[in-house]
Structure 1
Amino acid sequence: MSELVFDTVSVRYGSRRRALTAVHGASLTLPSGQVVGLVGESGSGKSTLARAAVGLAPLTAGRILLDGADARRPRGRHRPVQMVFQDPYASLDPRMSVGASVAEALPRGTKGPERRAEVARLLEQVDLDPGRAALLPSQLSGGQRQRVAVARALAGRPRVVIADEITSALDVSVQGTVLNLVRDVQRRLDLTMLFISHDLAVVRYVSDHIAVMHLGRIVEAGPTDEVLTDPRHPYTRELLAAVPRRGRTGQDDGTPAVPDTLAATEPADPHHPPPGCPYHPRCPAGPLVLAGRDACRTEDPAEDAATRPHRAACHFAAPTAPARPQPPRP
């Protein structure tokens, strides 16, 4: 078991006026042997943070530590942090057989019969018939290709696995099967995992902890049930309010309705985020709605987030949020 720590990580692309800060001072801990779900709307920086952990995105500032050591430093062919990507077809070489793709990730020195036996074992571990090892990715379904991608990640004998939107490209009928597989493998191997999704119901199903990301920042984090039943950041509450629920006809859960002026406001430009709290121009509890909250315009709430419940990056983090139903299980 291993603990992965993102310590004030920033990822910045470009320079000067055209620069884009995709991740801004993100701090997050993945406890050993547990699953942390990372949620947020498209463009919030979730995938960039994941890619930084495996060395596919540059670090502008901060550190990523695995049990206190640099997680990005090469250790020969051994990669203790492995990633499963969103599109399984794009992440597998279409010219290589399933078995060859999995075998390529095995540790150096695994040869001959031992290599073939290990590939068969890994395919069985993800509920795939080892007889399919000779097939090409194009000869498999989307769900089967994603299982191969999981087997390939496990072939590297990782201590941490990052799953980036691994069900979003799959049919709904297949998503539940893949989620059950991921949860079963994680528990059986006692892996530490970062599970990225925009679907709160999926994250609730697989995660022990949850972190919410907005405009490159972690704005709230804590145990899954606590965050989803008692959210402290307005952005988290807005994400929950957007979850469809049976019989729902509007704002019937105690959450104030979003004023029309805010609903029509465009999201902040990530190239030029507003000063203070980046969420304040769209915040239903911010200075455009409530008096006496001018601090949101000028002061960054992330600086003292550690002193608030769920490390909420909000000057006026709700002490108690209205009770609301949790997202349905998938």
Structure 2
Amino acid sequence: MSELRFEDVTVRYGTGRRALKAVDGVSLTVPPGQVVGLVGESGSGKSTLARAAVGLAPVAAGRVLLDGDDVNRRPARGTSRAVQMVFQDPYASLDPRMRVGDSVAEAIPRGALTGSQGRGAEVARLFGLVGLDAGHVHSRPAELSGGQRQRVALARALAGRPEVVVADEITSALDVSVQGTVLNLVRDLQRQMRLGTLFISHNLAVVRYVSDIIAVMYLGRIVECGPAHEVLAAPQHPYTRELLAAAPHRDGYVRDDVPGQTGAAVTDVEPPDPHHVPAGCRFHPRCPVGPLVLPGRAECLTLDPSAGAAERVHSTACHFAVGASVPTSTPT
């Protein structure tokens, strides 16, 4: 089992005045054998961080480490890659011209098995592991349902003999009736194989079902991170509380009993332009307990709460989270 660690990772697109920091100084750890759920709305930088973990997004600053080694050093051709990714759209991630069994066999590291018979047996084993009939190895992606294609994508990721799996919105393209089945599969596989997993979703209801740790991302930064049961029971950041309030409960209705929820809403406020990040707290233009609602909290307009996040409960990037003192330093 291995630990995946992001150390002050920044991913930047473009140059000059129109440069965009999709990920801005993110530090996050995926402990061995645990599931870290990364949640946030569209455009928060979740998928960019995932792509940085497998070398598909350029890391402008910081490092992505697996047990202390840089994961983005290109492995030798045909060898296993320690971090494997399962993409959001299983149809787009599979070659439509190839039989799905061949797609999975292609991901098996060279030299891991000898002969076509050995590779065929391994593909059949992987199909059984993800709940697919061995007869599907001869099918093409278009002949399978969305849920079956996502199972093939999981099998292909596991074929690479990974130590960490990154699952990027793997249920968002599926019917609701299929999502639960895939989530159960992910949870069962993680328990059996004890792989570290970075599970990404915009839906907190999905993340809380599979995660040991929950990290909340907003506008390129982690704003809260802690054990799943603690974050869900006592969310510290107003954005986390908003996400939790919007998540469907078991009866299908959104929650109105979220700890710390004030009743104020930000649903009518559009997210800021990521090319022009707000000064101070990035969430303050939408915050239901921020300076636009409570004028006495003017520090949110000028002081970046990330500076003292490590000293607060859940490392929360909020001036008024538990463990925080009202800042008096020079504005940044």
TM-score by length of 1: 0.92
1:250-261 aligned at under 5 Å gives the runs 255-258=261-264
Residue in structure 1 matched with residue 329 of structure 2 by the alignment:
none
User: Tell me, what secondary structure is at the counterpart of 1:72?
Assistant: coil
1:82 is the counterpart of 2:84? yes
User: Tell me, what secondary structure is at the counterpart of 1:237?
Assistant: helix
The CA deviation at 1:127 is: 1.0
1:157 is the counterpart of 2:161? yes
Give, in whole Å, the separation in 1 of the partners of 2:63 and 2:37. 20
Which amino acid is 1:59 matched to? Answer: V
The CA deviation at 1:97 is: 0.3
Which stretch shifts more, 280-289 or 51-60? 280-289
Which amino acid is 2:264 matched to? Answer: V
Go from structure 1 to structure 2 and tell me whether the alpha carbon gap of 1:249 and 1:182 turns closer, same or farther (over 3 Å shift).
closer
The CA deviation at 1:295 is: 1.8
Go from structure 1 to structure 2 and tell me whether the alpha carbon gap of 1:172 and 1:265 turns closer, same or farther (over 3 Å shift).
closer
Give, in whole Å, the separation in 2 of the partners of 1:56 and 1:318. 37
Q: Is the 8 A contact 1:54 1:72 kept in 2?
A: yes
Deviation per residue, 1:253-275 (Å, 9 max, x gap):
5621226xx55433211000111
Residue in structure 2 matched with residue 315 of structure 1 by the alignment:
319
Go from structure 1 to structure 2 and tell me whether the alpha carbon gap of 1:248 and 1:81 turns closer, same or farther (over 3 Å shift).
closer
Give, in whole Å, the separation in 2 of the partners of 1:249 and 1:21. 32
Give, in whole Å, the separation in 2 of the partners of 1:247 and 1:113. 48
CA RMSD in angstroms comes to 1.8
Give, in whole Å, the separation in 1 of the partners of 2:124 and 2:254. 51
The CA deviation at 1:75 is: 2.3
Identity fraction in percent = 69
Residue in structure 2 matched with residue 325 of structure 1 by the alignment:
none
User: Tell me, what secondary structure is at the counterpart of 2:84?
Assistant: strand
Give, in whole Å, the separation in 1 of the partners of 2:116 and 2:139. 19
Q: Is the 8 A contact 2:246 2:254 kept in 1?
A: no
Give, in whole Å, the separation in 1 of the partners of 2:276 and 2:131. 47
Which stretch shifts more, 293-302 or 225-234? 293-302
Gaps of 5+ in 1: 321-330
Give, in whole Å, the separation in 2 of the partners of 1:248 and 1:119. 41
Give, in whole Å, the separation in 1 of the partners of 2:168 and 2:296. 40
Deviating beyond 4 angstroms after TM superposition, the runs of 4 or more aligned structure 1 residues are 245-254
Go from structure 1 to structure 2 and tell me whether the alpha carbon gap of 1:257 and 1:87 turns closer, same or farther (over 3 Å shift).
same
Residue in structure 1 matched with residue 145 of structure 2 by the alignment:
141
Give, in whole Å, the separation in 1 of the partners of 2:173 and 2:35. 21
Residue in structure 2 matched with residue 324 of structure 1 by the alignment:
none
Deviation per residue, 1:112-169 (Å, 9 max, x gap):
2111111111111111111211111111111110000000000000000000111111
User: Tell me, what secondary structure is at the counterpart of 2:300?
Assistant: helix
The CA deviation at 1:252 is: 5.8
Which amino acid is 1:54 matched to? Answer: V
Residue in structure 2 matched with residue 23 of structure 1 by the alignment:
23
Residue in structure 2 matched with residue 12 of structure 1 by the alignment:
12
Match of 2:177 among 173, 179, 186: 173
The CA deviation at 1:251 is: 5.1
Match of 1:243 among 213, 235, 247: 247
Give, in whole Å, the separation in 2 of the partners of 1:132 and 1:251. 45
Give, in whole Å, the separation in 2 of the partners of 1:198 and 1:283. 19
Go from structure 1 to structure 2 and tell me whether the alpha carbon gap of 1:206 and 1:58 turns closer, same or farther (over 3 Å shift).
same
Q: Is the 8 A contact 2:312 2:322 kept in 1?
A: no
1:300 is the counterpart of 2:301? no
TM-score by length of 2: 0.92
Deviation per residue, 1:38-64 (Å, 9 max, x gap):
000111110000000000000011111
Deviation per residue, 1:211-262 (Å, 9 max, x gap):
0000010000000010011000011011112224459699565621226xx5
Q: Is the 8 A contact 1:232 1:319 kept in 2?
A: no
Go from structure 1 to structure 2 and tell me whether the alpha carbon gap of 1:234 and 1:80 turns closer, same or farther (over 3 Å shift).
same
Go from structure 1 to structure 2 and tell me whether the alpha carbon gap of 1:178 and 1:249 turns closer, same or farther (over 3 Å shift).
closer
Give, in whole Å, the separation in 2 of the partners of 1:16 and 1:58. 17
Q: Is the 8 A contact 1:233 1:318 kept in 2?
A: no
Go from structure 1 to structure 2 and tell me whether the alpha carbon gap of 1:247 and 1:50 turns closer, same or farther (over 3 Å shift).
closer
Go from structure 1 to structure 2 and tell me whether the alpha carbon gap of 1:155 and 1:283 turns closer, same or farther (over 3 Å shift).
same
Go from structure 1 to structure 2 and tell me whether the alpha carbon gap of 1:193 and 1:275 turns closer, same or farther (over 3 Å shift).
same
1:193 is the counterpart of 2:197? yes
Which amino acid is 1:235 matched to? Answer: Y
Gaps of 5+ in 2: 325-332
Residue in structure 2 matched with residue 231 of structure 1 by the alignment:
235
